Structure 1
Amino acid sequence: MGLGIAAVASLALALLPSPYVVEAPGPTFDTLGDTEAGPLISIDGAETYPTEGELRLLTVSLLGNPQRPLTWVDVAEAYLDPSDSIIPMEAAFPPELSVEESNEAGRIEMQNSQSAAVAAALLHEGLDVVSDVRVAGVIPGSPAEGVLQEGDRILRVNGEQAFDVYSIRASIAAVDGPTTFEIERSGEPLTLEVTPAVEGEQKIVGIYPSNEFEFPFEVDIQLPNVGGPSAGMMFALGIVDELTPGAMTAGTRWAGTGTIAALGDVGPIGGIVQKMHGAVDAGASHFLAPVENCAEVAGHVPDGLTVFAVDTLDDAITAIETVAMNADTSALPTCTSAAAGA
């Protein structure tokens, strides 16, 4: 009798909601291929060239949210799967934001990522790009509330040109104390100060910046129902490949991840272990990882995957072209070599 009661109690506890969510490998998409919406990348107004192989971007599926939390059974199953990661609910869904607000932030980040990728690819090809950055939204209760407004055009941050979202973040991170914004509002120049909040290792002012670029021709990226900035580098690589003669990959199947700045800098992302497993599941043999993610990569590379560490769009192109030519890759940085040299 007592054992039966204990078993029922244990089962009841196991089915209680947990305070965790699970990151798992998500869908992957070839930037040289199609989605249900059509070609992932379409270029109109410029000459394009045939491509081969794959340049596959990767996603992470987030299981559980504040409205539908996982049970402890779900968490236990994820603990046994090396491709899954368990993280606190508040790390994925900050308490100050609703699920809808988090999704909207991801949508804006995806838009920014696509714009920055086009800019990076076109600048790499020596083409002219006109840029400005605007405030797409202000987070309620954040340091920026009541100071910056939706629609403000950001000219400089701490004296540095606001070329894109990523340059703004770098300028905020580089200075202790208040951040100075030089903006234009309704045609009038203003200089404003915001004292960032610190969350973990990041300085946050609480705005959603949006890239607004003028390009010499149209580049359209179609990737419905995917948010966040981590596909930026792979978007840029796909655009460069279509704009240049010859197939960059020579038929090799690549996957990778990383944010991209308009000037070509590659930044770190979340969920890289899940993305490496997703790459293997999709049949990729080579993987591009941001240098700043190398600590998470080392020791967790799935069998059958060769990982190269990259810091810029040029680094990524060099790695792909070196493999395509069957040349010696020993001089290319890997996460093991990058960590050793740090």
Structure 2
Amino acid sequence: MTQPLSQDTIQPDHGPRKRDPRFTVMWASGLLAAGLGVAAVTLPAPYVIESPGPTFNTIGQIDSEPLISVDGRETYPTSGGLDLTTVFVSGSPGQPVSIFDAFRAWADPAQAVTPRELVYPPDVSESDIEERNAAAMTSSQESAVAAALSHLEVPYEETLSVVGLAQDSASEGILQEGDVLVAINGEPIESLEPLKDALNAAGGESVEITVLREGGEVIETVTPIESETGDYQLGVFLMSEFQFPFDVDVALNNVGGPSAGMMFALGIVDKLTEGELTGGEHFAGTGTIDSSGNVGPIGGIRQKLIGARDAGAEVFLAPAANCEEVVGHVPDGLRVVRVQTLDDAVDAVRTLGAENDDGAQLASCES
């Protein structure tokens, strides 16, 4: 006699099985996740990542050759380090980063992530960037030589020529591209700083600018416009050309931009000055420089602080205008000295390089 199946017994199903719809959903979700993962790794992200770059000792060697060499002037032995610092930039036009790279950089305090549109104009190309950085490096080296010679009171010649006019320029229709500035109100223009001083001294009144144009001198009258900083300006872009009494060569390739100017100038001063400026100590720093020795702000200073400390520097020379970015971000073991001019930088290195002087009187970004 056959027993009836109990309620809890499952009878075998010999017909075709139906796939659980949950399996299909999981399978599709897995494919979507995999696709998103591939996209995260491969698709470009509109960000620029800055990370600590290598340092270069301006009084040392690179590829067995002096980084700075002087021909036609006596030089003196140096020691220690005067490192220029760099930032490695990824995410420029033509070299995009992925979303994964950006997230990884956000999680690393040594790196900075910035929207590309805040760093590069939308129509700039990779070749444009390389060209501009190379031109800025060349200009910074020339300005560094001029600043060093000014500090050492070695005479040289500088000429200023107009290479363009700013928007709403005070000189529109008056000064022209190619004009060489000769004098202001009859006083010779020997460098950019005296020109600035003369414009500010005029207080917005019209000034007479003597220029060399097509082989002859022409006197033009310009009424300077006050800028947002309170300085009076002609509204022109100027290019400096120098005639130095001897040759200075900088052997540094694949590094662009103007931010090494101050450290180049320090290296030149050390080589041309009897005695060892650093006292054998290891310094690093950054900052643009003009021919008068004024030190200007740069980008990526937090990454440069880390790069300097990783390279063994104990003192970092920072532009005064960058101090707000420095405070609270100084690596352990690194001392930051605030500088506004090449004279400040030389004084700081000489002071801290001397025996038994802790440089307590030197300015910091917190003072």
Instruction: Answer yes or no: same fold by TM over 0.5.
Output: yes
Counterparts of residues 127-206 of structure 1 (less than 5 Å) = 127-135=154-162, 151-155=178-182, 182=209, 183-187=211-215, 189=218, 191=220
- Aligned match of 1:233: 262
Q: SS of the residue aligned with 1:335?
A: coil
Aligned length: 329
Task: Mark the CA change 1:79 to 1:156 in structure 2 (over 3 Å): closer, same or farther.
Answer: farther
Q: 2:282 aligns with which of 253, 258, 270?
A: 253
TM-score normalized by the length of structure 1:
0.82
Q: Distance in 2 between matches of 1:173 and 1:79?
A: 44
Worse overlay, 229-238 or 150-159: 150-159
Cα offsets for 1:98-152 (capped at 9, x unmatched) = 33222222222111111111111111111112101335x659x9778x9777644
* Alpha-carbon separation, structure 2, partners of 1:311 and 1:16: 43
Residue among 115, 119, 122 paired with 1:92: 119
Once the two structures are overlaid, the 10-residue window that deviates more, 222-231 or 163-172, is: 163-172
Deviation at 1:92, TM superposition (A): 2.2
What is the correspondence of 1:31-110 to structure 2 with a 5 Å cutoff?
Answer: 31-36=58-63, 38-110=65-137
Tell me, which stretches of 5 or more residues in structure 1 are unaligned? 338-342
Distance 1:83 1:54, change over 3 A: same
Is the Cα contact below 8 Å between 1:58 and 1:257 reproduced in 2? yes
Q: 2:362 aligned with 1:332, yes or no?
A: yes
Question: Which deviates more, 97-106 or 83-92?
Answer: 97-106
Confirm or deny: 8 A CA contact 1:154 1:181 kept in the other structure.
no
Work out the CA distance in 1 between the residues paired with 2:131 and 2:236: 14
What is the distance in 2 between the residues matched to 1:190 and 1:229? 33
Paired residues of 1:55 and 1:234 also in contact (CA < 8 A):
yes
Give me the whole-angstrom Cα distance separating, in 1, the residues matched to 2:236 and 2:101: 33
Change (3 A) 1:109 1:10: same
The sequence identity of aligned pairs, in percent, is 46
Question: Closer, same or farther in 2 for the Cα pair 1:81/1:51, shift >3 Å?
Answer: same
CA distance in 1, matches of 2:182, 2:227: 22
**Residue 282 of structure 2 corresponds to residue 223 of structure 1:** no
Structure 2 vs 1, CA of residues 180 and 278 (structure 1 numbering), >3 Å: closer, same or farther?
Answer: farther
Amino acid paired to 2:259: S
Match of 2:336 in 1: 307
Is 2:146 the partner of 1:119? Answer: yes
Would the alpha carbon gap of residues 127 and 284 (structure 1) be closer, same or farther in structure 2, given more than 3 Å must change? same
Q: Which whole-Å deviations, capped at 9, do the CAs of 1:196-217 have from their partners, x for residues lacking one?
A: 999xxxx9x795x432111121
Aligned match of 2:36: 10
For structure 2, the 5+ residue unaligned runs are: 1-25
Of 33-42 and 244-253, deviating more is 33-42
Q: Cα deviations across residues 1-21 of structure 1 (Å, max 9, x unaligned)? A: 154145235325524321111
Listed one character per residue, the Cα deviations across residues 177-205 of structure 1 (whole Å, up to 9, x for unaligned) are 9x99955443353757999999xxxx9x7
- 1:269 matched to 2:295? The reply is no
Contact 1:257 1:269 in 2 (8 A): yes
Q: Tell me whether 88-97 or 19-28 shows the greater mean CA deviation.
A: 88-97
Question: Larger radius of gyration, structure 1 or 2?
Answer: 2
Whether the 8 Å contact between 1:27 and 1:60 is mirrored in structure 2 is: yes
Q: Which moved more, 1:228-237 or 1:326-335?
A: 326-335
CA RMSD of aligned residues (A): 3.6
**CA–CA distance in 1 between the matches of 2:340 and 2:106?**
32
Q: Please tell me the residue identity of whatever aligns with 2:157.
A: V
Query: Residue type matched to 1:69 in 2?
Result: P
Supply the AA of the counterpart residue of 1:235. F
Instruction: Please give the secondary structure, in 1, of the residue aligned with 2:97.
Output: coil
Counterpart AA for 2:48: V
Amino acid at match of 2:94: Q
Letter in 2 for 1:78: A
Give the TM-score, by structure 2 length. Answer: 0.77
